Amino acid sequence: METIEKVTGKCSVCDKRTQGKTNGFLCRKCKQLLDTQKRIKHLKSLSPFDIGWLTGMIEGEGCFYQKGSNCKLKSGNYYCYPLVGFTVMSTDEDVMIRLSNLLQFCIKGPYYTRSKKERKKVWSVQVTGYKAIIIMNYFYEYLGVRRKSQIDLASEWQKIGRFQTTCRTARIKSLRDNITVL
């Protein structure tokens, strides 16, 4: 089996030392920045009809939410970072393929919904972090009150910064419920 050796070098954009696998080094931050620019350019290239179609889908089947990052154990305590997410779920495969193509996100599924009675196959698009933030910012002005308030909550959550938890997820919910949006 081939082993991929990780080597350290300087990010070709910002000079920060970073790990890479090939000659072209890019740190995580610069990689995210470039991808963000590419994604916004793509969204701007979509027709008003497609943006309207996407807005309707997000309004009807979409959800913006907050969660903790994978918690890391440091000096006996777990630490998490706030993470925002965006998801759209539907039982129509063709509709979800269209959505994932327009947003350029991977499609997940099919899998079954939790309720055993229905046993309906669902497909979803799920992203967290900067990819979710792009959608939050881009579609905010077009969305209704409920989606806007989900985005407002997620934005507040994002600002909390690193927080300590007693176990991997226990305190996240109570923290999240205590966010006050001004």
What residues line the site for Zn ion (CB under 5 A)?
A: 11, 13-14, 16, 27, 30
Structure tokens at 21: 């696998």
- Write the single-letter amino acid at 91: T
Please name which of 122, 104, 103, 105 lies closest in space to residue 113, comparing C-alpha atoms. 122
Q: How far is the CB of 20 from Zn ion (least distance, A)?
A: 11
Q: How far is the CB of 18 from Zn ion (least distance, A)?
A: 7
Q: How far is the CB of 27 from Zn ion (least distance, A)?
A: 3
Integer Cα distance of 57 and 71 in angstroms: 32
Q: State whether residue 110 is helix, strand or coil.
A: strand
**Residue number, 28 or 120, with CB nearest to Zn ion:** 28
**Residue number, 6 or 159, with CB nearest to Zn ion:** 6
Q: What angle do CA 67, 72, 75 make, to 5 degrees?
A: 135
**Residue number, 30 or 51, with CB nearest to Zn ion:** 30
